[in-house]
Amino acid sequence: MRSVGALLCLEYAATVYAASGEASRPRGVGPECTLKPNANNVEAHIRVLACSRAPFSPLLTNSPPVAKFYKDASTFSCISNPSIILPLSRLNDDYCDCPDGSDEPGTSACSHLSSLSPHTSADHSRTGSNISLALPGFYCKNKGHIPTYVPFTNVNDGICDYTLCCDGSEEWDHVGGVKCEDRCQQIGKEFRKLDEARQKSLGSAGRKRKELVLEAGRLRREVEDRLQSLGAEIEGSEMKVKQLEAELVEVERREKGKVGRGPVQKVGKMGVLVGLAKQRSEELRETLARVREERDASRGRVQELEGVLMTFKEEYNPNFNDEGVKRAVRAWEEYAARDKGPEPDAAHDRDLDAITQSDKDNGLDWAEYESEDGEESEAVVLHSFETFLPLSLRTWLDTNLRTLRTTLIDSGILADTSSTSSSSTSESKAVQAAHSRLDAARQDLANHHKSLASHQEDLASNMGPEDIFRALKGQCIATDSGEYTYEFCFLDKTTQKPKKGGGHTNMGNFVRMETVLVDEDVDEKGRGLGKGDRIAMRFEGGQHCWNGPSRSTLVVLGCAEVGEVWRIMEEEKCVYRMEVGTPAVCDLAGVGGGGGGGRGKEGREGRDEL
Amino acid sequence: MLQLNASSSRWSAFLLLCLVLCSLLTPVVTVKHENFKTCDQSGFCKRNRAYADTALSTSSWSSPYTLEASSVRLDKGLLTGIVTKKAGDENLRLPLTVSFYESGTARVTIDEEKRRKGEIELRHNSKARKERYNEAEQWAIVGGTVLSKGAATTQGAEKGTTRVAYGPASAFQAVIKHSPFGVDFKRNGETQIKLNGEGLLNVEHWRPKIDKPVPEKKEGEEEKREGEDVTEAETSGVTVDDEGTWWEESFGGNTDSKPRGPEAVALDISFPGYQHVYGLAEHTGPLSLKETRGGDGKYTEPYRMYNSDVFEYEMDSPMTLYGSIPFMQAQKKNSTVGVLWLNAAETWVDITRSSSSANPLSFGIGGTTTTNTHWISESGLLDIFVMLGPKPQDVIGAYSELTGYTQLPQQFAIAYHQCRWNYVTDEDVKDVDRKFDKNKIPYDVIWLDIEYTEGKKYFTWDPMTFADPLGMQKQLDEHERKLVAIIDPHIKNEGNYYVVDELKSKDLAVHNKDDNIYEGWCWPGSSYWIDCFNPAARTWWQFLFRYDRFAGSATNTFIWNDMNEPSVFNGPETTMPKDNLHHARWEHRDLHNLNGLTLINATYTALLARSPAEASHPIRPFVLTRSFFAGSQRLGAVWTGDNQAAWPHLEASIPMLLSMGISGFPFAGADVGGFFGNPSKELLTRWYQAGAFYPFFRGHAHIDTRRREPYLAGEPYTGIITQALRLRYALLPAWYTAFHEAHVRGEPIVRPNWYVHPEDEKGFGLDDQFYVGGTGLLAKPVVREGQMESQEVYLADGERYFGYFDFEGYEGPGMVKVSAGLEEIPLLMRGGHVIPRRDRPRRSSGLMRWDPFTLVVVLGKAGDAEGTLYLDDGESFDYEEGAFIHRKFSYGAATSVLISEDLAATGTGGSKKAKEYLKSMEKVRVEKVIVVNAPAAWNGREEVEVSEEGAGKSGAARKVVMEWFAGEGGKAAWAVVRDPGVAIGRGWRVAFA
């Protein structure tokens, strides 16, 4: 852990450098100071940090505006309250004189000057109620590495804070015998090595991001192209639909007048009956199939519910002495013990299978009866009568009969066997074909419209800066945590999968992109969100929790070379937070920026005791 | 569909149940009364209440107990005799002993000869012991039982009495009346405590069961008992002895076989002239106990003590809770007396008060109130200890001498503890640890509840979630932080689990009534319970905690023993059947209330033996318990169990903790934030402000609640909570000193008004404000929602008090108004005290070890002040060899000098360890002295003269800067001595004039 922490600190220091506009290598740290108690000091507890110019030089390198306060060779004025003038002997003497703590840059004597500490009138003697420190912390020179500030609360507490102060100088008083050796050489070396790797990784992440942007652009163009072609296709489809509608009208008109010679002609009572019977039979069959489906679904639900209750009974906590729960368990036990009625019966199901097969398979061929009926129908009689007539007469008769028939049909005396209002089976092939052509064309058109809308929506939706998540949409990253595997799919959903098997739990479906302010650690490999605004995806409406809300997840994204889930937390019951690394949020140049990874300036500030 | 339709109503009924269930799980819930007995449902309680009713309503009542005068002997402080009980034609012999101890405590013990001699028959082939349980003292009593040779019978006693003078300067007298038997305890001739004054003494003697010829009764009776009513429909109805509950009792579907028949003991104890009684922890009602026989604002049920896992316990109730201390103190002006009823069986106590109107012949001022108490236990000896005061410190001192003093905890244990059910992974723990640092909030201990184990098997870690417990503890240790892991007494009954295998093969578990291993249900499901009454079980338990066996535990691992009432989910009243058998075949009923103590006793010793290396230089164990009895204070800390995130629970926490304090177990706290439910941010903030004044200070939360670590609250709440936490840390030297006073004198750590001001009758009922140790700090945390303006604080005396933060001056006696904005804690400093502090905020208390001190000298009316500081390494037992600093600081108005004197007993400082410790503390200094209420005469003075004992030049006086500040408005003036630089462990003087 120690080395991990140490590297974190190094990173931090890097930012200090960045902040001061210097190159990323430590340079000279100004006048040399020694951090040892004044050897001549009679009172052991009074520490004076001997130094060539100022009693202590905490800020000379990095904060020239503050360093000037320590330059005066005779007296010191508190930074925020210059009216308070102290002799130099009161600098770093482990007693807090300045209301802003500026007289103790090297000790913890003023560490209580913080709004987080309780204060009494004695602390307010000079300050009033506005208590804050003028300095960001104890300055660690960290020669061989990068200078940094350590919170004053950590100075001389007997613990080597190598995470921040690799030279161990914050434990200069060696309280309780603690000796913090200077580890800056080693830590600095490791840091530089890792930093190099990080830079490399960042460069690579940047390239990956570029690729993703390119890919996203390509995908976007695809969508745009598709939108264009869809426009043309829709025009075509619309024309086609119109054309086919006209065609259908024509076909129907023609068919209406045609006296049926076709095999499907059905008129008369028997024909009507057979038509109705067939229709009815089909309806019943359909209904049976549907009811059966519903039954199966319900049976599945009952089984699932019984499983839930079984688990409930096994896992509930009787200690809660909750009568409601106990009653529920008792009711369940009674229910479970009772006769459940007939078990699913295979023979019965086979019967149902048979029944729901088509009539033909059951040996009932409606066509047979239809053709038989046809022979007996009036039309057939007429036609057979026709055959005995001479051709000219026959043509006359035919024409007149058709007119008569049309008249009769129109007046409602005869059944209209060819109109669309009757069952499709009784339509003529031509009409059927026309219909299906039209339906297909309409379906095509609807699909095109739908596709158009979804593509338009897709283009308009927020997929991150430069549309980058378009390239990742639907891609998933998983990690193991405890007994679960957690999966996050970009712009899609989050899922919890038990390792021991069992159903997956939806932890939310994507609803929107957000920006969240974070303040998290970054490890030595650069994993972590750092501090600042980060892109996040909000997932809601996942599986409902027992005694809780629907599951939801906030996925916060940080920069990483490869996609990985860093952390998963249940912040409160069924409200999850995932921290995920992805190259998609790295700055294009591959260094720092809003992409996180803690390399930006904002990744630092949290470490200072201000 | 048709089939489903038929059952759909059932489903909707179930759904409805689910809905009901959901609504029940919200914080607004109350205890399930039907799960716990009322007195009426507890046979022996009902019988004895009926006995009392008969006795008190019969003018000619005469207690049937007589001390055989001829049997009375007094030898070297021990009086023996035979009390006979007239029952029908029989005269039953009840051996009596009255012991008079050097400490001034007297003890009255009554046994039953037949049972003692084993001349009884047990039913149901029971293998239980025949004697009345006589081993409670082996667990509860650790000292103070040296007999007083000076105790002597006095001449001139009235006929039919024996008088024994005893105690300091023989100021105490026990007047033993022979017939009916009774004892009056007098101090300076005045009766303070009367035993059997009302004639309610009742020792249920053994008798054989005589089956009455009622055919087929059993069956029908069983059924009837399933219901509420456990009494038999006796036709006569006039008998006092209702035999219906003599031989068998059922409750909640469990039947108690009662192989020994009825065996209760009961006695009335009266406190003439005493209006207030305190004690009988733990209950949720007011500190000053209420009457229990009905009436306006009074309870109708007796106070019950039967340690139980009471789910969602209710406020202001005499219902039993997780632990019990059968110790009571009575208070009247300038007099405190106490009794300890040493009985570990189920116990009920009725309290009534009677007033006598002014007697014109008496010299007194009008009428007096007498508090009458009626104590009823199911089995065991009648065994009481009587303490005659007269000061509160005398009574608690005598009690603590008997039952032991509070363990001197490690320093971390009195700092802040962060707990939750549960931190889900080792990474989670590390994350919380980092977040505290990042937010600059101090904490010392993080806790793991049951989920860290693999399937609730204690001594294991879930390999999925806690793959690297040692790495986790290493991170904690980097800032001297600790881990507390839970270990419960129920052991999972599952194959391939070495703990249960050993428990079974070594036969170390509690047995059922048939003397086979008892199986019950708890967190892990089917479980067995370790029987810590068994010495072999304790040895085995010790072994389990060794680092090499409890893999994953480290030197900074400490233990939480929960569920040790014991909690048994499917047992009667959520605990064990009373006819279960423990070691030496004692029935569970006899020792139930001791069970929790035996577990932490075993764990305490186990923590001392985790490795041979550590054994040579052990660190002090830390064990948290939920269940307790008199004596548990020696072994660890306690919390008030599963409270709720609701304002009334915050409010109740203060009287509950005050009650624990005056009951000799002051290392107590309530879950900060409330266990069940989600506190509002205001409630959470106020709870931290109150919790900073709990002796045991732990934030905890139920698994279903939202996370609520202090840094999550957001501003301004997080900042205010952090201030409260840092205040606790700054005052740790004062708290540690208070713990030391508890450790050596048994004094409460948070002290109620009556304890500090026993002369102030007006403050006897006060239980919402308290003093911190002997520091003069008087706190009254805000416990009401929306109270943002001010808090009324009661000042008992005419001393001057000052606001801790603003030095605002207040003067008593009476109520004063103290500012109480959300960011303010109503906290006063009583004049005349010196308060030691360490002002530098650190990440944990361990990192404050080398920090300098600030002394706050609060000058009172007389201009004087005095205070103490106790300090040691905060972790080892080296203090027992003198390795500590114990100073007395005093400022005298006459001399204007603040001096530091050594309080260590002479000779203790000579050991090697003592010298080493002092040397290690050499550089730790006083960095600041703040004098509150500094004399105006100091205005303009700029220096004080400081001199320090020690060799050479440093002993010479030197000048140190002092600055005087005028107080504005009602504020006191103050002065600050700038860095006197004197060592905290040395003698020194600061001369202000």
CB B234 within 8 A of CB B247: no
Q: Note whether B976 contacts A: Cβ–Cβ < 8 A.
A: yes
So what's the pLDDT on residue B366? 57
Query: Could B425 and A121 be called an inter-chain contact, meaning their C-beta atoms sit closer than 8 Å?
Result: no
Return d(Cα A249, Cα A435) in angstroms, integer. Answer: 10
| Pairing assessment for the beta strands B172-177 and B482-486 based on DSSP bridges | unpaired
Alpha-carbon gap, residue B577 to B526, rounded angstroms: 16
Question: Which tokens sit at B874?
Answer: 């905060």
Q: What is the helix (H) or strand (E) element at residue A368, kind and residue range?
A: helix A366-376
- Asked if A112 and B841 come within 8 Å (Cβ–Cβ), the reply is yes
Question: Cβ of B212 under 8 Å from any chain A Cβ?
Answer: no
Average pLDDT over residues A215-242: 89
Measured between beta carbons, the chain A residues lying within 8 angstroms of B526 are none
Answer yes or no: do A319 and B480 touch at CB < 8 A: no
Report the pLDDT averaged over residues B741-760.
98
**b/e map B308-324, b = 16+ CB within 10 Å:** bbbbbbbeebbbbbbbb
State whether the Cα torsion A434-A436-A438-A444 is positive or negative: negative
What integer pLDDT is reported at residue A282 of this predicted model? 85
Residue-wise pLDDT for B433-457, tens only, equals 999 999 999 999 999 999 999 999 9
Q: How far is CA B751 from each of CA B649, B720, B746, rounded to the nearest angstrom?
A: 20, 25, 12
Q: Which of A25-39, A43-57, A130-144 has the highest mean pLDDT?
A: A130-144
CB within 8 Å: B978 and A95: yes
pLDDT at A159 over 50: yes
Does residue A338 surpass a pLDDT of 80? no
- Crossing angle of helices A268-315 and A323-337, rounded to 10°: 130
B229 part of the active site: no
CB-based contacts of B485: which residues, under 8 Å, 6+ apart? B447, B448, B452, B553, B557, B558, B559, B560
- Chain B positions touching A320 (Cβ under 8 A) are 311
Token digits for B135?
A: 């081993």
- Model confidence at B851, in pLDDT bands (50, 70, 90)? very high
Collapsing DSSP to helix, strand or coil, A565 comes out as: strand
**Choice among A45-59, B29-43, B258-272, B671-685 with the minimum mean pLDDT:** A45-59
Chain B residue numbers with beta carbons less than 8 Å from the beta carbon of A118 are: 723-724, 726-727, 730, 805
Instruction: Supply A463's token pair.
Output: 């997929």
Q: What is the mean pLDDT of residues B255-260?
A: 95
Query: Taking Cα atoms as reference points, which of B658, B626, B638, B642 lies closest to residue B562?
Result: B626
Q: Answer for the pair B906, B969: CB distance below 8 angstroms, yes or no.
A: no
Choose among B464, B475, B723: nearest Cβ to A483. B464
Instruction: Judge whether B595 and B627 are in contact, CB under 8 Å.
Output: yes
Q: Measure the CA dihedral A314/A320/A321/A322, to 10°.
A: -90
Confidence of residue B273 (pLDDT cuts 50, 70, 90): very high
Most confident of A227-241, A413-427, B744-758: B744-758
Three-point CA angle B417, B418, B422, nearest 5°? 135
Per DSSP, A51 falls in state B
**Taking CB atoms and an 8 Å cutoff, what residues of chain B touch A316?**
none
> What whole-number distance in Å separates Cα of residue A604 and Cα of residue A16?
8
CA distance A156 to A150: 11
Buried/exposed A33-64: b ≥16 CB within 10 Å, e otherwise: bebebeeeeebebbbbbbbeebbbbbbbbbbe
Q: Which of A153, A322, A548 sits opposite B843 (nearest CB)?
A: A153
Tell me whether residue B249 is one of the annotated catalytic residues: no
Q: What is the mean pLDDT of residues B78-93?
A: 94
Confirm if B288 and B277 have CB atoms less than 8 A apart: yes
* pLDDT above 90 for B157: no
By mean pLDDT, which of A322-336, A356-370, B763-777, B967-981 is the weakest? A356-370
Q: Which residues of chain A are within 8 Å of residue B724 when distances are taken between CB atoms?
A: 118
Q: Which of A45, A156, A571 to mutate to test the interface with B (most CBs of B within 10 A)?
A: A45
Closest chain B C-alpha to A265 CA, distance in angstroms: 40
C-alpha distance from residue B357 to each of B362, B366, B370 (Å): 11, 7, 11
Highest-scoring range by mean pLDDT, A250-254, A394-398, B116-120? B116-120
- A119: which chain B residues are within 8 Å (Cβ-Cβ)? 805
pLDDT at B823: 96
Options B565, B671, B760, B927, the catalytic residue: B565
Please answer yes or no on whether A114 and B922 come within 8 Å at the CB atom. no
Query: In B, residues 474-493, which contact A (CB 8 Å cutoff)?
Result: 474-475, 478-480
Q: Which candidate from A112, A121, A328 shows the least CB-CB separation from B840?
A: A112
Chain B 536-595, residues with CB within 8 Å of chain A CB atoms: 567, 569-570, 574
pLDDT at B754: 98
Report how far residue A182's alpha carbon sits from residue A204's, in angstroms, rounded to the nearest whole number.
Answer: 34
Contact A604, A16 (CB under 8 A): yes
Look at B841 and A44 and tell me if their CB atoms are within 8 Å: no
Q: Do A570 and B424 touch (CB under 8 A)?
A: yes
Name the closest residue on chain B to residue A178, using Cα atoms: B850
Q: How close does chain B come to A153, measured CA to CA in Å?
A: 5
Query: Distance, in angstroms, between A113 CA and closest chain B CA?
Result: 9
**Interface contact A1-B471, CB threshold 8 A:** yes
Tokens found for residue A131: 């208590």
Please tell me the distance from the alpha carbon of residue B790 to that of residue B824, in angstroms, as a whole number.
Answer: 9
- The confidence band for B981, taking pLDDT boundaries of 50, 70 and 90, is very high
B501 catalytic per annotation: no
**Under 8 Å between Cβ of B49 and B39:** yes
Question: pLDDT tens across B369-412, in order?
Answer: 999 999 999 999 999 999 999 999 999 999 999 999 999 999 99
> Which residue of the set B198, B282, B301, B642 is catalytic?
B642
Residue B359, pLDDT score: 57
Q: Please enumerate in sequence order all residues whose Cβ is within 8 A of that of B8, keeping only pairs 6 or more positions apart, or say none.
A: none
**DSSP per-residue letters across B770-833:** EEETTTTEEE----STT--SEEEEEE-SSSEEEETTT-BEEE-SEEEEEE--TT---EEEETTE
Cα(A331)–Cα(A325) distance, integer angstroms: 10
Chain-chain contact of A324 with B522 (C-beta, under 8 angstroms): no
Q: Which residues of chain A have a CB within 8 Å of the CB of B978?
A: 95, 97
Question: In this predicted model, what pLDDT tens digit does every residue of B479-523 receive, in sequence order?
Answer: 999 999 999 999 999 999 999 999 999 999 999 999 999 999 999
The token pair that represents B399 in the structure block: 């009690």
Query: Chain A residue with minimal CA distance to B30?
Result: A322
Please report residues of B whose CB lies closer than 8 A to that of A291: 1
**What is the nearest CA distance from B19 to chain A, expressed in angstroms?**
9
Q: Which residue of A has its CA nearest to B570?
A: A318
Cβ–Cβ below 8 Å for A573 and B13: no
What average pLDDT score do residues B410-437 get?
Answer: 96
Closest alpha carbon within chain A to B712: A571
Tell me the mean pLDDT in the region B43-72: 95
pLDDT range class, residue B6, cuts 50, 70, 90: very low
Averaged pLDDT, A199-208: 89
B contact test, residue of A86, A115, A157 with most B CBs within 10 A: A157
> Residue length, chain A?
610
User: What mean pLDDT value characterizes chain B?
Assistant: 92
Q: Among A53-57, A571-575, B458-462, where is mean pLDDT lowest?
A: A53-57
Query: Residue range A127-151: average pLDDT?
Result: 86
Q: Which residues of B touch A114 (CB under 8 A)?
A: 440, 841
What span, in angstroms and rounded, lies between the C-alpha atoms of A49 and B235?
96
The amino acid occupying position A377 is S
B689 Cβ under 8 Å from any chain A Cβ: no
Highest mean pLDDT among A303-312, B221-230, B451-460, B898-907 belongs to: B451-460
Whether residue B856 is predicted with pLDDT greater than 50 in this model: the reply is yes
Q: How far is A473 from chain B (nearest CA, A)?
A: 30
Q: Which of B153-162, B252-261, B835-844, B851-860 has the lowest mean pLDDT?
A: B153-162
A328, A332, A482 member nearest B464 (Cβ)? A482
Amino acid at B271: F
Amino acid, single-letter form, for residue A539: F
Q: What is the pLDDT of residue B12?
A: 53
> Residue B706 and residue A571: Cβ atoms within 8 Å?
yes
Distance from CA of B370 to the nearest CA of A (A): 40
* pLDDT band (50, 70, 90) for residue B360: low
CB A525 within 8 A of CB A509: no
| pLDDT of residue A542 exceeding 50 | yes
Residue B450: alpha-carbon gap to chain centroid? 24
Closest Cβ opposite residue A547 in set B13, B25, B723:
B25
Report the percentage of chain A scoring pLDDT > 90.
Answer: 27
User: How remote is the C-alpha of B657 from its chain's centroid?
Assistant: 7
Q: Tell me, what's the pLDDT at A40?
A: 35
Instruction: Measure in Å the smallest separation between the Cα of A97 and chain B Cα atoms.
Output: 9
> For B17, which of A117, A159, A328 is closest by C-beta distance?
A328
Query: Mind spelling out the 3-state secondary structure of B952-980?
Result: HHHHCCEEEEEEEECCCCCECCEEEEECC
CB atoms within 10 A of CB B546: 16
d(Cα B842, Cα B848) in Å, to the nearest integer?
Answer: 6
Q: Determine the distance in angstroms separating the CA of B837 from the nearest CA of chain A, rounded to an integer.
A: 12
Lowest mean pLDDT among A84-93, A245-254, B578-587: A245-254
| Contact B33/A at CB under 8 A | no
Contact call for residues B578 and B572 (beta carbons, < 8 A):
yes
pLDDT the model gives residue B68: 95
Residue B971 tokens, joined:
């504020």
Q: Name the strand (E) or helix (H) holding A190.
A: helix A184-257
Predicted pLDDT at A377 = 52
CB–CB contact B18 A332 (8 Å): no
Which chain B residues are within 8 Å of A2, Cβ to Cβ?
A: 478
Ranges A93-107, A237-251, B804-818: which has the least confidence? A237-251
- Mean of pLDDT values over A296-325: 80
Q: Kindly tell me if the per-residue pLDDT of A535 is higher than 80.
A: yes
| Cα angle value B3/B7/B11 (rounded, 5°) | 135
Residue B818 has pLDDT above 70, yes or no: yes
Residue B906's pLDDT is what? Answer: 63
For chain B, helix, strand, coil in percent to 5 are: 25, 25, 45
* Closest alpha carbon to A555 in A609, A508, A607: A508
**Strand (E) or helix (H) holding A26:** none
Distance, in Å, from the CA atom of A231 to the CA atom of A212, rounded to the nearest integer, reads: 28
**CB < 8 Å to A573, chain B:** 704-706
- Tell me what the mean pLDDT of segment A236-246 comes to: 88
Regarding predicted confidence, which is higher, B247 or A123? Answer: B247
